[in-house]
Structure 1
Amino acid sequence: MHKWWLLLLLACASAQADDTGVKEVSPGRLLLKEGEMAVGIGPAPEKIERVLIIVHGRLRNSETYRRSAEQAAALAGQSANTLVIAPQFLNEKDIALFSVADTVLRWQGNDWMAGGMATAPFALSSYGALDQIVERIADRRQFPDVKQIVIAGHSGGGQVVQRYALLAHEQPALSAAGVKIRYVVANPSSYAYFNEQRPVAFDHARCSGFNRWKYGLTDMPIYAGGQTAAQIEAVYIKRDVTYLLGQDDIDPQHPALDKGCEAEAQGAYRLVRGRNFFNYLLRRNPQGVNQRLVEVPGVGHSGKGIFTSPEGQKVLFGQ
C-alpha cells in the first residue's frame, strides 16, 4: 500500500454557480510547511513512476484540469503508472464563498499567477508551494518508484509553468533520487523575456511596464531571491521545457487573451507569441537549449484538446 495518502486530508466541497469565484473547491488537502494546499488528486496506481502536476488557469478550475490530465493518461496507456495532482490556488473570493478552513492557503486575486505571496495562513509564494509539492514527491519514503515529475499548465496555467520554470529553486533531493523534472507550457498569453528586446514594435512611452515582471525580469517577486537575468537564463535554457501550441489558437480577439500592450509586444495571438519566444531563445543561445516547440494541428485554445491530442500525449508522457 502506498503512503501518499498520508499527505492528504479530505474535506467536503459543494458546487457553486456564482461566477465571482470558483465553481468548486477541490476536496484534497496537501499538507505543506505553511498550511494546507487545496488539490485535486487522481486515483493512485499501485506503482507510481510518474507524477503529473497539472496547473489550472485563471478560473482556478483544478478539477477540470485533473480530469483532462487523467483522460490524457488513459489515452496514452499511462494510467497504470501515473499519479495526477492538480493544485488549486484559491483566492480570497473563493474563501468567502465556501466554508474553507483557515489553514488552507489563499492568494489575493490572480497574484498566484506571478509567484505572489499567499495572504493566509502564512506568506508563501505560489512558486514556493509548487516547490514543496515537488519536494514531497522526491521523498523516497512516500514515492519509492517515481522516475519523473511533469509540471504542465494551459493558458493561465501555462503562464505559471513558464515563469516557475524560470525561477524554480533547485531540488538536490531530486537529483539524488534520480528523478527527472519536465515542464510543459501550453498556449499561454505571454512569456517572461530576459531583456528589453521584443518581436513587435510598440510605443515604449505608452507601455512603460513592458519589461516588468511577469513580462520581463524587472521587479521580480521575492521568490526570485535576487538572481540576475543572466543567472536565470543560464539555468532556464538547461531545463527540460516543451512549448505545446495549438495551431488554431490564432484569434487576436479571444476573450481570455491578454490584450495589454505588454503582451501585444510579443505578438498578435498565442500561437505567434509562442513561436516568437522560442525563436528568441534560439537566437540568444545558438549553442542550443534543452527545450523544444511542438505544435498541435486542429486545436485552438482548449486545455483538454491540447493535452489529449496525440502530440499532447507524447509530450506529457515522454513517449
Structure 2
Amino acid sequence: MKDISPGRLDLGVGELAVGVSQTSPKIQRVLIILHGRLRNAETYRQSVEKAAAQAGQSASTLVIAPQFLNESDITRHQLADSVLRWRGNEWMAGDLSTGPQALSAYAVLDRLLTRLSNRREYPTLKEVVIAGHSGGGQVVQRFALLGDDQPALRQAGVKVRYVIANPSSYTYFDRQRRVSVDRKKCPDFNDWKDGLDKLPAYAKGQTVQSLEQRYIERDITYLLGQLDTNAIQPALDKTCAALAQGPSRQERGLNCFNYLTQRHPQGLKQHLVQVPGVGHNGDKMFTSPQGQQALFRW
C-alpha cells in the first residue's frame, strides 16, 4: 500500500481515511467501493469512477472509498493518532480497531450508511451500492451477512445493493462444502469467516437462522471473472477451510451460489454474472459491460 487516501471522515471514535469523488447536487446513487488486502483504496476509487464515466453515470453517482489502514501504515506515513487503524488484515473479518478506540470495521460501514440516510445532506439519494473485489469482495459478502438492517436508509426510501467480485472465500451457513473436509486435519474449517462458528463480537445476539434469512433477502450480485481460475495465484486463500470451497475463485463462486440456490429453491433476490475474458483484475471486472451493469443498473 503506497497511497494514503486524502480525506478524513469523523466517526466519533476516530477518523476514517477515505477517498471521495467530486460531489454533485444530482446524486442519486452512492457507490461504496472496498479495497482488499493491499489497502489500495484510491486505485479502486479510480476504477469505479472510470466505470461510472463509461456508463454515463458520473453526474448521478458519488463514489466513496474507505481505507482500512493498519498500524504499520500509521507509523510509516506518520499519520495522526486520531486515524483509525487495525492490526494486520483483521479489519476484513470485522475485528475491532486498535486505535484510537475500538470499532469493528463493519460498524464503520454501519456509521457511514447511517450518515447517508440524512435527507438534508443527500436529498435525491435513491440507492447505495456496496461493492468490492478480491479481499474487498470478501468484506462485502461478510458485511451483507452480519451487517445492520439499515432501518434509517429504509425509512428514507433508499435501497441498498451489494456487488461481490472474485473473493477468495465465502461464509457458509452449515458444514456442507463442495470438497470433503478431513475434520482432524482441518478442525476450524467452519469457524468465522468460512463458517458461522466463533462469530466476532460485532455479531453478538444474532442467531444463525436470523442471519441466513436476512442474507437471502439481500439484493446481491456475484460477479465472477471467467478466467479467475488460477489455483496457485499468490493472493488466493489456500487454507484448508478455503480449499474446501473449491480450487479457484471462479469455482468457489459457482459452488457457493449453487449451495445457496439449493438451500433456497423458492428463489433468491440474488444472481450470478460471469465476466468473459477477465481473470483476477478489479479494474477490468468493474469496467466491463457486466461490471457496469452490476454497479449501476442504468
Q: TM-score when scaled to structure 1?
A: 0.92
1:103 counterpart = 2:82:
yes
State the Cα distance separating 1:94 from its structure 2 match. Answer: 0.5
Q: Secondary structure of the equivalent of 1:37?
A: strand
1:194 counterpart = 2:187:
no
CA distance in 2, matches of 1:95, 1:76: 36
The equivalent residue for 2:237 is 258
CA distance in 2, matches of 1:141, 1:30: 18
CA distance in 2, matches of 1:73, 1:302: 17
Q: Secondary structure of the equivalent of 2:142?
A: helix
- Runs of 4+ residues deviating >4 angstroms: none
Following superposition of structure 1 onto structure 2, how do residues 148-163 of structure 1 map, counting pairs within 5 Å? 148-163=127-142
CA distance in 1, matches of 2:263, 2:93: 24
Given residue 231 of structure 1, which amino acid in structure 2 is its aligned partner?
S
Contact 1:60/1:88 (<8 A) preserved: yes
State the Cα distance separating 1:37 from its structure 2 match. Answer: 0.5
Q: Secondary structure of the equivalent of 1:52?
A: strand
The equivalent residue for 1:53 is 32
State the Cα distance separating 1:225 from its structure 2 match. Answer: 1.8
State the Cα distance separating 1:101 from its structure 2 match. Answer: 1.0
The equivalent residue for 1:89 is 68
Given residue 144 of structure 1, which amino acid in structure 2 is its aligned partner?
P
Match of 1:299 among 278, 283, 294: 278
1:120 counterpart = 2:99:
yes
The count of aligned residue pairs is: 298
Contact 1:45/1:79 (<8 A) preserved: no
- The CA deviation string for residues 118-165 of structure 1, in whole angstroms up to 9 with x for no partner, is 001111000000011111111111111100000000000000000000
Q: Secondary structure of the equivalent of 1:152?
A: strand
- The CA deviation string for residues 22-42 of structure 1, in whole angstroms up to 9 with x for no partner, is 201100001112111000111
1:74 counterpart = 2:53:
yes
State the Cα distance separating 1:202 from its structure 2 match. Answer: 2.5
Match of 2:252 among 256, 266, 273: 273
Given residue 314 of structure 1, which amino acid in structure 2 is its aligned partner?
Q
Contact 1:112/1:125 (<8 A) preserved: yes
1:314 counterpart = 2:277:
no
Contact 1:55/1:87 (<8 A) preserved: yes
1:146 counterpart = 2:121:
no
Given residue 234 of structure 1, which amino acid in structure 2 is its aligned partner?
Q
State the Cα distance separating 1:226 from its structure 2 match. Answer: 2.4
CA distance in 2, matches of 1:292, 1:33: 37
- The CA deviation string for residues 29-79 of structure 1, in whole angstroms up to 9 with x for no partner, is 011121110001111123111000000010000000000010000000000
The equivalent residue for 1:164 is 143
Q: Secondary structure of the equivalent of 1:69?
A: helix
Contact 1:90/1:105 (<8 A) preserved: yes
Q: Secondary structure of the equivalent of 1:130?
A: helix
- The CA deviation string for residues 85-138 of structure 1, in whole angstroms up to 9 with x for no partner, is 000000001011012111111000000000000001111000000011111111
The equivalent residue for 2:207 is 228
Given residue 27 of structure 1, which amino acid in structure 2 is its aligned partner?
P
State the Cα distance separating 1:318 from its structure 2 match. Answer: 1.4
CA distance in 2, matches of 1:299, 1:251: 12
Q: Secondary structure of the equivalent of 1:204?
A: coil
Given residue 286 of structure 1, which amino acid in structure 2 is its aligned partner?
P
Given residue 254 of structure 2, which amino acid in structure 1 is its aligned partner?
R
State the Cα distance separating 1:209 from its structure 2 match. Answer: 1.0
Q: Percent identity?
A: 61
Following superposition of structure 1 onto structure 2, how do residues 21-36 of structure 1 map, counting pairs within 5 Å? 22-36=1-15
Q: TM-score when scaled to structure 2?
A: 0.99
CA distance in 2, matches of 1:92, 1:36: 14
CA distance in 1, matches of 2:12, 2:212: 29
Given residue 53 of structure 2, which amino acid in structure 1 is its aligned partner?
A
Greater Cα shift, 79-88 or 28-37: 28-37
CA distance in 2, matches of 1:154, 1:268: 18
Contact 1:52/1:82 (<8 A) preserved: yes
Report the aligned-residue RMSD.
0.7
Q: Secondary structure of the equivalent of 1:206?
A: coil
